[in-house]
Structure formats: C-alpha cells, structure tokens
Amino acid sequence: MDLVLGSLGLDCGTRCCSLDSTEAKSKDTMAAFQLLFPLLASCVAASSPPSRHLPPCQVVQMDVFCSNLSLRSAPVNLPRGVQMLDLSRNQVQNLTRETLAYHTGFHHLNLHSNKIHFIQPGLFKDMTDLKVLDLSRNHLNVFSLSKINIGPLTAVESLDLSSNGLYTGMSDYFLADSPSLANLSLNSNSITKIAQNTFSGALSLTKISLHNNVILEIEDGAFDSLDRLTELDLSKNSITCITDFNLCNLKVLNLSKNSMELFQSTRSTDLYKLLRLDLSENKMLYFPLLPRKNMLEYLDVSRNQLQSINVTGNPEKNTNVFLNDLRYLDMSYNQLKSIPESFFYCMGSLEVLNVSNNCIGSFSITDERLLQTVKIINLSYNSLQSLTFGENALQSLEKLFLQGNDLTTLDHQIFQRLPSIKHLQLQQNNLEICALDQNHRGPPDCVSFSSIPNLQFLYLSENNLRTLPANAFANTPLKLLDLSLNPGLDMDKDSLSGLEYSLVHLLLRENNISSLNTDLSSLRSLKDVDLSTNHLTILPMWIKESSIESLNLQNNNLVTLEYSTMLALEHSLKTLYMGSNPLSCCSNLGFLHMVQHSAVVVPDIETVTCVHEEYSEPVNIEKVTQEMCHRSGIHNYIIVVVVIALLVMILLGLLVRCCHTRKRKHNRSFSA
C-alpha cells in the first residue's frame, strides 16, 4: 500500500506560485524554484500535465511525509483530508494554524526535532481527530516561560514532550486540559519533582514515561487519582526511597538507575496488579518489601548492594511475602553470601533465577517441592565450594551456569539427578572427571558425566583437568564439549567413545597437546574442532572421510600436513584456521593446492606463513608458487647429477688404475 499518489510543492503553474506566497519558504525550496523556472515556463506554454520533479514531500494515501526538508511550515497545498503529517527534523519555530496550513483534520502530527518555542494557544482545540502528537526535541521550555496554557488537547491520546528542556512545573501548561491523554512521555527533561497536581488535568493516563530526568521527590498522592495508570517509567532519576507504595493498578514500574535504598509497599491487604518491577542499578541494602497480595511475575534487583535476602535490617521483622506468580528473579551483581532454601518457599512458579556475581559459598535445594518449575539457574561468578541438590529436586532445570566458582568436590552423581538438564557451564572451577566404572565405587573428588540423559552442552574449560578417562561421557548425548584451557590434559584414547553420533563441536584449545591420541574420525557428527594453541606436530589422523566443516589449527607446531589427511578433510571442510605454524613451503603443495583451488575458506590467511630455504623471512602461503619449489627441485637435481658424475669419475679413475697395475703385473711376470 506504499503507493506514492502525489507529491507536494513544485508542480507547474499556480501551485508553485502559491508555495512562493507562503511566508514559510525555505532557502532550499527557493533555490529549487529558481532552478526550475525555465522548465516551468516551457511547461506552462505546452500546458502539459503537472510535472513531479523534486518532490519536497511524499504523499502516501492520506499521509504526508515532509521530514528533513528545512521547512518552517507545512506546504500550503496539503491534500484535503490529510490525516498524518510528518514535519519532523525541520525548522518550525512558531506552531500556529498558519504553520499547519489551516488544516484541522489531522489524526497524527509529528513535529519532533524542530525549533518550536511557541504554540498558538487553543491550536489543538478544534482538532477533534488528533490522537497522536509528537513534540519531542523542541524548545518548549522557552514557551513554558510565558506561562500560557496551550489550551485543550481535546482528543490527543499520545503526547511526546521528551527532550524539551522542561523543568519542574513546566509540563503543567501542556497537561492542564488533556482529558483523553493515555500515553505521555516526558523523557529526557530536567524535572526534579512530581507535584501532587502534575497530572490532575490528564486523568485518563495509562502510561507515563519520565525516564532520564532528575526526579528527587514525588509528592504524596501524585499518581493516586490516575485510576487507569498501568505503566510508570521512572528509570534514570535520583529517587532514593519509596516507602508507601500503594498504586494497586500499576502493572509495570521501572525504578532502574536511581539511588534507591529502600522500597516498601503499604501493609494493605488489597490485591496489587503489579507484574513487572525493575529495581536494578540502585543502592538497595535490603530485599524490597513487596505487596502482600500480589501478581508479580518479573523482579529485577540486580546491581544493588543486597547482603542478605532480608527485607529490613532486623531479621525478626521479616514477613514472608508470597510470590506465587514470580517467574523471573534477577539478584545478580549484589553481595549476597547465602540464600537459605526457605527463601524459595513461596515462589511456586519461578522459571529463571539469576544470582550470579555474588559471594555465595554454598547453595542447596534439598526439598523436592521447591523450585519445581525453575528452568534456568545462574550461579556463575560466586565463590561456591558446595552445591547440593536433593533427590527429585529441580526436575525442570534445563540450564545451570556454575562457571567462575571454587567447585572442587561435588557429589559425583549430582548431575544425573537432574532429569531435564541440557546445558551445563562448569568452566573455571577445579573439577575432576570420573571414569565410567568409578561411578559407584566413589573415588574421592570426581564428578561423573556419563548417563545424563538430556545433557547436550558441557563446558569444562579451565578446570585444571589432568585426565579424561575412557568412556567419560558414555550415554550422554553431548553435542558440544569444551575441554579447552586444561594444559596437560591426558585424554584416554577412548575418552570420547559414546559420542560417535552426537558430538558436533569439540573444543580443545590451549591444552598443551603434542599429539592427539584420540581417533576423531569415529565421531560421525563432528563439524567443528578447535585445536588451536597446542603443540601439535602432526595432524590428527582421519582415516575415514570426515564430516568436519570448521577446523582450527592456529598456533601449533605443524611443519608438514599429511596429504592423505588433507584429502579426507577436503570434501567436507569449509573453514580452516592455520595461522602461526612453522609450515614448510615445499612439502605442503597439497595444502597449497587446497587453499588456492578448493572452496575452503582460510579466514586467517594473512598469518599463514611457511618456511622456504631461499628466504630469510617466512613466506605468506598465498605467495608460494609451484615454481619456487620446482626451482629448488632443479637444484636438487643438479646436486644429484653432480654427485653421480663425481662417483662415475672416481669409479672410472679406479678402473683405469686397476687396469694399469694388472698390465704391469702381467709385464713383470712375463719378464720374470
């Protein structure tokens, strides 16, 4: 439907003249007009249909788009019945009936990013269809200084006054008579206080955004008369506390990025409809005191200063609030040392729990009735030494993030008890992996990863792992296994058996491996292998045709690449990283051919160099030619020829001498 039905402005004949007669001509349109004048004359002479050169505005059905044209007012020849006018990013200063070409039938007026500092009082009174009015990024603070009301905003439902330099009290001149206003943005102004009567002329408000102001004070009852208010955004202000939160009808409250130290609801037993509460990035020392009867689904208290889950400084005063509908709880980036199991008693619907980046040393869920619905637990970057899950606890848990802790010993069957676990991040700990047959005997300090029926993603990098026993992952359908950064890891040759049909990604980066004794060619699904930063001197063997699509061999000690292995790889390989290896130029012509002639992409080709005896510096692999190596072939040939010639000469010499002596002997005997 984006059909351009017409254009405004520079058409032939009277239209141009009428544009010229408006006071609101910009330099640009003038210039265009002068340029077009000869054309215009011929145009009139031929009385051809209106030309559509240089349309300043676009008309799409009843919508007119005049954005960014240096206009000071709307074109006078707006089509009759225009509903939407976009005059954004222009030079409008005075907003009057004249600026809008005396049209009043607008539904939507977009005037953002102009220089409006004056609005004709009563301008919107007759615009009974005007629903959306965007006045953001203007200079309405200047207008406010005149202390004149703009008059009734009869039908306006959505009003944007953001970025207008408005400070406290100034919004009153716009809101005093706004009976239909539902959606108001005052974002990015300089408001410091919300007075009791600020919104008294706009009682239909459902959503107010005050993001990015400097609000320090909200007078008692400022929002009380707004029965329909459901969304209030007070983020990025300077509010320090809320002590009697009583807005029962509010659904979304955003107090992120303030200086909140305290959030307390009234002790009423009314049902609060609040669904989302964002208290992130504040200075809260205590868990918020939430309404007793609530429907809260989303609570973000991340990046505060919580040291415990207590609601006040006095633990005895704590009253448990039921958070039966809570699905998402983020308490990351605080200073929590522990979370007692009882904290979760009243959270029967929780799905996501983020307590990462705290100082939690021990975490346990033993009661199987707790957290039955939780799918994600993020405990990363704490100081966990102990982790306990009871029999049948956490039956829905799919993702568990435990990276960056101090885990050394765990109950070795801990993960087998989580029937839904799919994704396990254990990097940066100190774990040891049990062998399959160790599971029941219980050697000290190991954790088993075999027979975890749904585990697909396992991250074990940076664990100081020393050995990877045979069948370590038997009966666990791993798709991704990250064993990187475990230098000196001794992998049993059967350590990956059982993963033949599931493993897709294998990461063995920075493991100090000098030769891989595990046969990767039995891993039929393997597509992505990272062996970078090791000490490999030969390529791992691929006996069968491989399925590998991406192989990273950067930063190893590879000199010669086995041609048969390259052939086994070539038909599936799409990406190969090979930089920083001491390759020999002329013994890798097979690889060279592959780089130059097959579809394999070598993203780090700039750093793939090889050593050539005739060059003091390593040569970039792309610059190597067959001839460079042929030449040295010829050299060798010459050497061989010379050597043979020498040998022949020596032999001949010997032969000659031999004959001589015989002759003499003969002579002697004859003479004797």
- Determine, following the binding rule CB under 6 A, whether residue 535 of this chain makes contact with ligand NAG: yes
Helix (H, G, I), strand (E, B) or coil at 380: coil
Alpha carbon 405 to chain centroid distance? 24
Q: In this chain, which stretch among 349-357, 361-369, 491-499, 570-578 interacts with ligand NAG, using CB under 6 A?
A: 349-357
Site for ligand NAG in 56-95 (CB under 6 A): 93-94
Query: Closest separation between CB of residue 93 and ligand NAG, Å?
Result: 5
Q: Is 515 in the site for ligand NAG (CB under 6 A)?
A: no
Stretch that binds ligand NAG, among 249-257, 311-319, 365-373, 607-615 (CB under 6 A): 249-257
Q: What is the DSSP letter of 272?
A: P
Does 257 contact ligand NAG by CB under 6 A? yes
Taking the C-alpha atoms of residue 163 and residue 111, their distance in angstroms, rounded to an integer, is: 13
334 binds ligand NAG (CB under 6 A): no
Of residues 189 and 378, the one with the C-beta less far from ligand NAG: 378
Q: Which of residues 350-389 bind ligand NAG (CB under 6 A)?
A: 352, 354, 356-357, 376, 378, 380
> Tokens 């975890």 sit at which residue?
452
- For ligand NAG, the closer of residues 302 and 495 by Cβ is 302
| Alpha-helical runs (H) found in 454-597 | 563-570, 589-597
- C-alpha 213/C-alpha 235 separation (Å) is 8
Helix (H) or strand (E) holding 60: strand 57-60
Tokens 């009966």 correspond to 475
Nearer to ligand NAG, 278 or 398 (CB): 278
Query: Please, are residues 438 and 410 in contact by the beta-carbon 8 Å criterion?
Result: no
Is residue 122 a contact point for ligand NAG (CB under 6 A)?
Answer: no
Residue 235 within binding range of ligand NAG, rule CB under 6 A: yes
Q: What residues between 459 and 498 interact with ligand NAG by CB under 6 A?
A: 487-488
Q: Which stretch binds ligand NAG (CB under 6 A): 314-322, 328-336, 359-367, 629-637?
A: 328-336
SS (H, E, C) 275-289: CEEECCCCCCCCCCE
Let me know if 501 is exposed, middle or buried by CB neighbors in 10 A (0-12, 13-18, 19+). Answer: exposed
Q: 470-488 burial, b for 16+ CB within 10 Å, e for fewer?
A: bbbbbebbbbbbbbbbbee
**Residue 357: CB minimum distance to ligand NAG, A:** 4
User: Which of residues 33 and 401 has its CB atom nearest to ligand NAG in the complex?
Assistant: 401
Q: How far is the CB of 187 from ligand NAG (least distance, A)?
A: 8
| Cβ neighbours of residue 436 closer than 8 Å, sequence gap 6 or more | 448, 450, 469, 470, 471, 472, 474
* Stretch near ligand NAG under the rule CB under 6 A, chosen from 253-261, 387-395, 409-417, 565-573: 253-261
CB 524 within 8 A of CB 542: no
Cβ 388 to ligand NAG shortest distance, Å: 21
Which of 26, 141, 149, 158: binder of ligand NAG (CB under 6 A)?
Answer: 158
| Closer to ligand NAG by Cβ: residue 69 or 424 | 424
Of the candidates 189, 164, 159, 163, the one whose C-alpha atom is nearest the C-alpha of residue 177 is 159
CB of 328 to ligand NAG, least distance (A): 8
Regarding 538 and contact with ligand NAG (CB under 6 A), the answer is no
Q: Sign of the CA dihedral 190, 192, 197, 199?
A: positive
Provide the 10 A C-beta neighbour count for residue 502. Answer: 18
Query: CB-based contacts of 627: which residues, under 8 Å, 6+ apart?
Result: none
CB-nearer residue toward ligand NAG: 125 or 423: 423
Q: What is the DSSP letter of 507?
A: E
Of the ranges 51-59, 252-260, 498-506, 599-607, which one interacts with ligand NAG (CB under 6 A)?
A: 252-260
Cβ atoms 197, 225 nearer than 8 A: no
Binding-site string for ligand NAG from residue 170 to residue 199, where x marks contact by CB under 6 A and - marks none: -------------x-x--------------
Nearer to ligand NAG by C-beta: 274 or 569?
A: 274
Residue number with CB closer to ligand NAG (347 or 624): 347
Residue 458 belongs to what H/E stretch?
Answer: strand 457-459
Specify the DSSP class assigned to residue 167: B
211 scored as a contact of ligand NAG (CB under 6 A): yes
Residue 514 contacts by C-beta under 8 Å, 6 or more apart in sequence? Answer: 534, 535, 536, 537, 557
Rounded to a whole number of angstroms, the minimum distance from the CB of residue 444 to ligand NAG is 23
Nearest approach, Cβ of residue 139 and ligand NAG (Å): 12
Among 86, 297, 330, 398, which residue interacts with ligand NAG (rule: CB under 6 A)? 330
| Cα separation values, 402 from 6, 176, 430, 465, 510, Å | 62, 54, 12, 16, 21
Q: Which is nearer to ligand NAG, 103 or 207 (CB)?
A: 207
The contact set with ligand NAG (CB under 6 A) reads 93-94, 118, 134, 158, 160, 183, 185, 207, 211, 235-236, 254, 256-257, 276, 278, 302, 330, 332-333, 352, 354, 356-357, 376, 378, 380, 401, 487-488, 512, 514, 535
